[in-house]
Structure 1
Amino acid sequence: MSGFDSNPFVQSVDVNPFQDASIAEATSGGLETRDEFNPFSGDGLGSSKTIPISAALSQPAVLQASVETNPKSVAAAGAASLAKQQEELEKKAAELQRKELDLQNLAAGRGLPLSERVNNWPPVPRICPIKPCFYQDFEEDIPEQYRKICIRMYYLWVFHCVTLFLNVWACLASFITDSGNGVDFGLSILWFFLFSPVAFICWYRPVYKAFRSDSSFSFFFFFFVFFFQVAVYIIQTVGIPNWGNSGWISSISMIRVSVAVAVVMMVVAGFFTVNAVLAVILLKMVHSKYRNTGASFTKAQTEFSQEVMANRSVQSATASAATSAAQGMFQRN
C-alpha cells in the first residue's frame, strides 16, 4: 500500500542509469574486456571461445555469376563441332575405301586390283599370237574348304579332253580298218573341237565362279549344264554306231574286223566309262558343298536380274525399246 500512498506530485529523484553496479563493472574493464567480448558465445560476456563459420552455416549460399551467351562464341563452338564431325567422317570413309580395296585385291588374286588382272589361262608361250583368255588361281580365288573339289572338277575337264582326243585316234583306226566308219571319224573330230571348249565354258567355269564368289546363279547354271554332260558321257560310253564315239557297242562290233582296233576302242570306251562315273561322283560332291553355302533359287534369280540390268547391251536395248514405244504413243495421239 506504500505505492499508493506516495505522492505523485512530489518531485522525483533523478536516477542515473549508468550508476548501476553491473553497468559500471562492465564499463570499467577497459579495452581488454571489450576485446574478449564475443556476442556469439553461449557462455556469457567473458567467454573467449568462438564458433567457426563452417560449423555455424551447414549449407552456405553460393551466388553463381550469370554467363551471358555470345553469338560469336556459339558460332565458333558450332563450327569446331562440325569440323570434328567432318574429320571423323573422312576417317571412316578412308577406312571403308581401304577395306574395299583390300577385298578387291583379295578377289583379284595376287594382290592386284581387278582392273590390273592379267589372264593366265591357257598357259601359252609369249610368242604365240593367241593370248590367255581366262584368269585362274586356286590358291587365291577359291576358299580352302572348296579348293579340292574345284581342282578335281578341273582335272575332270582335262580327262574329258584327253578322252575326246583318244576317241579321234580310235575312230581313225576304225576308219582305216573299215572305210564304212568314216562318219564316226568325222564326228569324233567335231566332238573334240566342239565339246572341249564348250565343256570348259559351260560347266567348269561356272563351278569355278560359284566357289569363288558363292554365286547361286553360277551353281544353278552348272547343275543344269552338267546334268546334260553326264547324259552325254553315258551315250559316249554306250557307243552307238555312226555317232562318233568309240563306246562299248562300237568296240565289240569291231572284234570281227580287227582285234587290235577293237582293243584300242575298248580302252577309249573305258575312258568314257570313267568320265561318266567321276562325273556322277563329283556332281554329288558339288551338290553337298552347294547345300552348305546357303545358296538358293531366290538368290539366283536376284543375281541374274542384277547382272542382266547391269549389262550395257541390255540397258541400250531397253532404252531403245522404251524410246520406240514412247514415239509410237505420241504418233498415235
Structure 2
Amino acid sequence: MSGLDSNPFVDPVDINPFQDASITQATSGASKNVEDYNPFSATEMGTYSETTIPISAASSQPAILPTSVEQSAQASAATGQANLIKQQEELEKKAAELDRKEKELQNRSPGRALNTGNKENNWPPLPKIFPVKPCFYQDFDEEIPDEYRRICKRMYYLWMFHSATLFLNVLACLAYFTADSQYGVDFGLSILWFILFTPVSFICWYRPVYKAFRSDSSFSFFFFFFVFFFQVAVYIIQTVGIPKWGNSGWISSISMIGKNLAVAVVMMVVAGFFTVNAVLAVILLKMVHSKYRNTGASFTKAQQEFSTGVMTNRTVQTAAASAASSAVFGSNQGN
C-alpha cells in the first residue's frame, strides 16, 4: 500500500539521462576523437596516395622526348648538314672553274686575236714552231649551251671520222692500184678527195652547225642543212663504190675478191667505214633538225640575218662604195 500512499502530484526526482557513466564515457571519447581527427593526415589519405608530391618539385621536372624522336631529329639534322656541305663544295668548284677561265682569257695575247674579241684561235692545234697558225677558235664548254653541247660534239666526231675514212680510202685505192694498174685513176682521185673534202667539210657543214648552236643563228642552220644534204648523198655514192670514181666502196671491193682477196678485204673495211659515215650522217641530221625546231629559228629570221650581215660586212661595204664611185666617175667622164 506504500505505492498507493505516494503523492502523485509531487515533482519526481530530476534525473539527467546524460549523466549516466557509460554515456558520459562514450561522449567524452567521441569528442576527443573528433578533436584529434585530421582528414589531411597521411594515415587518413593512405587509401588514395602513399606520398604527397610538392607542386614546386613536380613542375620543375624537365620534359623528356622519347629516344626514337631524338634519333630521327639528329639524323635529319645530319642529312641537312651533309647536303649543305655538298652544295658548298659544288659552288666552290664552279667558282674555281670560272676563275680559271677568266685567268685564261686575261692571259691571252690580244695581238693574236682574230674576229673573236680577245679570244686567241686554237684550232687546228698546231705546234708553236709551226709556220701556219690556228685559224679558228673552238671551245664547247665556253661557247656552246649545255642542251646543244652533246650534239655539237657528235658532229665534230663525225667530221673526224669522215677525215679518217678519206685517209684510209687513199690507202685502199693504193692497194687497188697495185693489184690492177688500170685503176690508177682511183688512186689519184682518192688523194684529191682527201685533200679537198677534209677542209671543205669542216668549213661548209661543221663550222655552220657550230655557229648555229653557239649563237642560235637561223642562217647558219639553213646553210648547214643545204650543204649537209649533199654530204649525205656523197656518202651514199662513196659507199656504193663505183669503179674509177676514187672510192673504195662495195662494188669495187667485191670485184676484187676473185683477183686479190687481201686487197678485197682492205677495200671492204673502207667500204664499211663509208657505210657507217652515211648512217651516222642521217641520224645526226635528224637530231640537229629536232634541235633546230626547238630553237624557234625560221626562214624569215635567216633572211634578216643574211641581209644584216651583208650590210654590216666591211668588205661588202668597201666593194659597194668602190662600185658607186666608179659609176659616178664614169658618168662624169661621159658628160
Q: Calculate the TM-score normalised by the size of structure 2.
A: 0.65
Matched AA of 1:246: S
Which of these residues, 204, 207, 210, is aligned with residue 206 of structure 2? 204
Between the aligned partners of 2:254 and 2:137, the Cα distance in structure 1 is 43
Q: How much has 1:307 moved relative to structure 2? A: 1.2
Between the aligned partners of 2:283 and 2:186, the Cα distance in structure 1 is 29
Corresponding residue of 2:231: 229
Where does structure 1 lack aligned partners over 5 or more consecutive residues?
Answer: 1-107
| Alignment deviations for residues 226-249 of structure 1 (CA, whole Å, 9 cap, x no partner) | 000000000000000000000000
Between the aligned partners of 1:127 and 1:144, the Cα distance in structure 2 is 35
Between the aligned partners of 2:192 and 2:329, the Cα distance in structure 1 is 48
Q: How much has 1:115 moved relative to structure 2? A: 2.7
Cα separation, partners in 2 of 1:109 and 1:300, compared to 1, 3 Å: farther
Query: What secondary structure sits across from 2:168 in the alignment?
Result: helix
Contact 1:119 1:132 in 2 (8 A): yes
Among all aligned residue pairs of Structure 1 and Structure 2, give the percentage whose two residues are the same amino acid: 78
Which of these residues, 206, 212, 215, is aligned with residue 213 of structure 1? 215
Q: Superposed, which structure 2 residues align to 1:83-122 within 5 Å?
A: 111=105, 114-122=116-124
Corresponding residue of 2:15: none
Q: How much has 1:133 moved relative to structure 2? A: 1.1
| Alignment deviations for residues 68-100 of structure 1 (CA, whole Å, 9 cap, x no partner) | xxxxxxxxxxxxxxxxxxxxxxxxxxxxxxxxx
Between the aligned partners of 1:123 and 1:143, the Cα distance in structure 2 is 23
Which of these residues, 131, 134, 140, is aligned with residue 132 of structure 1? 134
Matched AA of 1:174: Y
Corresponding residue of 2:261: 259
Corresponding residue of 2:170: 168
Q: How much has 1:207 moved relative to structure 2? A: 0.2
Between the aligned partners of 2:105 and 2:147, the Cα distance in structure 1 is 21
Matched AA of 1:250: S
Q: How much has 1:311 moved relative to structure 2? A: 1.6
Between the aligned partners of 1:175 and 1:109, the Cα distance in structure 2 is 54
Q: Superposed, which structure 2 residues align to 1:1-333 within 5 Å?
A: 111=105, 114-330=116-332
Cα separation, partners in 2 of 1:218 and 1:109, compared to 1, 3 Å: farther
Where does structure 2 lack aligned partners over 5 or more consecutive residues?
Answer: 1-101, 111-115
Between the aligned partners of 1:153 and 1:240, the Cα distance in structure 2 is 27
Q: How much has 1:325 moved relative to structure 2? A: 3.1
Query: What secondary structure sits across from 1:283 in the alignment?
Result: helix
RMSD: 1.8
Contact 2:217 2:297 in 1 (8 A): yes
Query: What secondary structure sits across from 2:248 in the alignment?
Result: coil
Paired residue total: 226
Between the aligned partners of 1:222 and 1:302, the Cα distance in structure 2 is 17
Query: What secondary structure sits across from 2:117 in the alignment?
Result: helix
Contact 1:109 1:140 in 2 (8 A): no
Q: How much has 1:329 moved relative to structure 2? A: 4.6
Between the aligned partners of 2:325 and 2:126, the Cα distance in structure 1 is 46
Between the aligned partners of 1:327 and 1:160, the Cα distance in structure 2 is 52
Between the aligned partners of 1:109 and 1:221, the Cα distance in structure 2 is 35
Query: What secondary structure sits across from 2:126 in the alignment?
Result: coil
Between the aligned partners of 1:109 and 1:289, the Cα distance in structure 2 is 33
Contact 1:109 1:137 in 2 (8 A): no
Matched AA of 1:197: P
Between the aligned partners of 1:199 and 1:126, the Cα distance in structure 2 is 25
Q: How much has 1:305 moved relative to structure 2? A: 1.0
| Alignment deviations for residues 272-299 of structure 1 (CA, whole Å, 9 cap, x no partner) | 0000000000001000100111111111
Query: What secondary structure sits across from 2:266 in the alignment?
Result: helix
Q: Which range moved further: 116-125 or 265-274?
A: 116-125
